[in-house]
Structure 1
């Protein structure tokens, strides 16, 4: 079995309404969907975090990989990427993430060729369902959806999620320039959802250390399960630790610094930031060894999101809910999507490989959206269009 063809398609995954975060307003996500086809007619699916990955995959990787053995992932990586561990001044992170999309498809092919789901290739399933948080935020209105602009409106949204889907695990933005509205929203959520609800927050590095200290004092009584990126650096986070017992999480996968500084307490990443599933597995194992939690990223299509299902299913150490924007995503590229948690959980697929089916019609729709509208600008500031926000450093 050899690699016969590689396809890489840039797509848009729109949200039902734009949500507000520290850098502006986000209306959706732009990705690259990868198909690796073999001489035996199998097709492996992968997903890259940027539409720019498509050109790298088609122009740089595909000519090197056609005719290669798709099972030998290590050999495929050596053909596409130079050694990049420890050479950080020269690392091409864009190529590493692009290869992660191809590598995901190669893992899918392994599972399909061997007739086993991904979680079996990772060592076996320890759980049949995986927990996810449901996202909340202040949102702009679009086509009669969204428009939550005050604490009561956000609480009403979360109460509807609980009524409609059984959601009791929530994660949302605490990133307004004036933290007052965000703090009042958390107070309203804790009061309205009760003590049994899990509340996690994400500030996307919005605050200086001094502001974060003041925020911590205000939200400490609210039993916040984790606070993601409250400040811009691990060093400031270590100083913030002296003022709060709230656990911290980050997207930056710098394990050595975390161990040295004692913060963060958890990492939340996608697989591409590590260069693919194989390296993500090693990172998760290292987190377990060091006593640090790990959970998975949000904002992907059903392909990468289902990979997260397999990772969590195969690792007892992934004990906290992963992130999801599933209920805010009306579109997907897979037949089985968009994924829809019920009572906080999504079943783990048992079919071979990733266990999902690419819908050519849905793929065409999402690609057409990309072509007609261009990639989503997640740094669009509705208050100052055309000017990028700057966040405080200290």
Structure 2
């Protein structure tokens, strides 16, 4: 079998309402959908975590892989990704991320060739219902959606998710630069959701060490399962650990520093950003050996989410629920998408490979949205056009 073509399609998939995070209002996802075609008539699907990696795939990764055997992952990677010393020396890992998006499609091809779902290629499923959190955040109203701009409104929203979908696991960002607002919201969430609900927080590194100490001291009695990136560095997390027993997680996959400093406790990663499924499995195995937890990223489309489902299904070490923005996505590029959890879980697909199929009409719709509007900007303050948001650290 040989690779004959690699197609890249940029798409936007907006949320029903934008949410506030450290860099401004987050309106939705801008991704690249990858299709790897073969002379055997099998097409594999991949997804780049950010659209601009799709441009690198078109310019460099695709030409390098034409004619390669898609089942020979080692050969494919060696065509596209330099030795780790080069990446470490230059700080340039774009080729690794771009190849990681394509590598997911190669696994999809492998599963389709052997007629097996991805989790069977990885050793079989130890679980088939995969846990995800519901998400909450401060969101301005947009049409009929959003409007959660107070502690009471966020608590109402989470309570509605519990009543309508049986949700018991919640994670969110409370990023308006006001420590008291975060403390008050957490207190109210615990009161309204009860003792058994899981509560996780994520500040995207918005707080100074001084402010984080104050916030964590106030919210620790409310049984916070995890706080993601409460401060801006592992060193500050290590200092913060002296004042709080709340576990920490991060999107920064630096296992060596985490082991040396004792924090963070968990890594939260996108598979393509780690370089693909093969590298992700090695990373998770290293986390297990070092006693560090792992769960999956959010704001992905159905292709990457399917990869998450299969890997978590086949990996006993991943026991915590992954993040999810499913409820806010107004569309997807796969048939039947987006995935939506019920009673905290999504069932792992059982079809060959990733077990998902492109919805061509949806792909065209969201590709047209990208072409007409450009990529969705997550990094600017709408109150200050043309400028990046600056939150006071406190």
**Which residue number corresponds to residue 293 of structure 1?**
293
When structure 1 is superposed on structure 2, of 176-185 and 224-233 the one drifting more is 176-185
State whether residues 3 and 37 of structure 2, in contact with CA within 8 Å, keep that contact through their aligned partners in structure 1: yes
* Aligned structure 1 segments of 4 or more residues deviating by more than 3 angstroms: 390-394
Shift of 1:8: 0.5
1:392/1:147 CA distance change after superposition, 3 Å: closer
Distance 1:121 1:168 in 2: 31
CA distance in 1, matches of 2:185, 2:113: 49
Contact 2:211 2:393 in 1 (8 A): no
**Deviation larger for 181-190 or 232-241:** 181-190
Counterpart in the other structure of 1:275: 275
SS at match of 1:145: coil
Q: Which residue of 1 aligns with 2:180?
A: 180
* Deviation of the 1:175 alpha carbon: 2.5
Residue matched to 1:250: 250
Q: For residues 302-321 of structure 1, what are the structure 2 equivalents within 5 Å?
A: 302-321=302-321
- 1:89 CA displacement: 3.5
2:355 counterpart residue number: 355
Partner-residue secondary structure (3-state), 2:84 = coil
SS of the residue aligned with 2:249?
A: strand
Task: Answer yes or no: is the 8 Å Cα contact 1:205–1:391 preserved in 2.
Answer: no
TM-score normalized by structure 1? 0.98
Match of 1:228 in 2: 228
Deviations 1:21-48 (A, max 9, x none): 1111100011100000110110100000
Return 258-267 or 94-103, whichever deviates more.
Answer: 94-103
Deviation at 1:10? 0.7
Query: 1:393: Cα distance to partner?
Result: 7.5
User: Which residue pairs with 1:79 in the alignment?
Assistant: 79
**C-alpha distance in 2, partners of 1:4/1:61?**
13
Is the 8 Å Cα contact of residues 19 and 26 (structure 1) preserved in structure 2?
yes
Where does structure 1 lack aligned partners over 5 or more consecutive residues?
none
Q: In the TM superposition, what is the alpha-carbon distance from 1:279 to its structure 2 partner? A: 0.2
- Aligned ranges for residues 71-220 of structure 1 at < 5 Å? 71-85=71-85, 87-220=87-220
Distance 2:93 2:13 in 1: 23
In the alignment, is the contact (CA less than 8 A) between 2:87 and 2:93 conserved in 1? no
Structure 2 CA distance for aligned equivalents of residues 41 and 116 of structure 1 = 17
Q: 1:239 is matched with which residue?
A: 239
Q: Is the 8 A contact 2:177 2:392 kept in 1?
A: no
Once the two structures are overlaid, the 10-residue window that deviates more, 86-95 or 374-383, is 86-95
Aligned residues: CA RMSD:
1.3
Counterparts of residues 370-381 of structure 1 (less than 5 Å): 370-381=370-381
State the secondary structure of the residue aligned to 1:324: coil
**What residue number does 1:26 align with?**
26
Number of aligned residues: 394
Structure 2, unmatched stretches of 5+, are none
Q: Is the 8 A contact 2:267 2:295 kept in 1?
A: yes
Match of 1:48 in 2: 48
Q: 2: CA distance between counterparts of 1:86 and 1:319? A: 34
Shift of 1:164: 1.3
TM-score of the pair, normalised by structure 2:
0.98
Check the 8 A contact 1:11/1:30 in 2, yes or no.
yes
The 8 Å contact of residues 37 and 44 in structure 1, kept in 2 or not, is answered as yes
What's the secondary structure of 2:127's corresponding residue? coil
SS at match of 1:363: helix
Distance 1:24 1:94 in 2: 25
Instruction: Say if 2:206 and 2:393, in contact at 8 Å, map to a contact too.
Output: no
2:331 aligned partner: 331
Residues 159 and 193, structure 2, Cα contact 8 Å, conserved in 1: yes
Structure 2: distance between partners of 1:174 and 1:242:
23
1:254-283 deviation digits (Å, cap 9, x = unpaired): 000000000001000011121111100000
Q: For residues 11 and 89 of structure 1, do their structure 2 counterparts lie closer, same or farther at Cα, with a shift above 3 Å needed?
A: same
The Cα of 1:86 is off from its aligned counterpart by 6.6
Shift of 1:4: 1.1
In structure 2, C-alpha distance between the alignment counterparts of 1:382 and 1:347, rounded to whole Å: 38
SS of 2:273's partner is helix
CA contact (8 A) 1:174 1:183 kept: no
Q: Relative to 1, partners in 2 of residues 1:218 and 1:124: Cα closer, same or farther, differing over 3 Å?
A: same
Q: Deviations over 1:128-187 (max 9, x none)?
A: 110000000000111221011101111111111111111110000133211111211111
**Structure 1 partner of 2:38:** 38
- Is the CA contact (8 Å cut-off) linking 1:155 and 1:188 kept in structure 2? yes
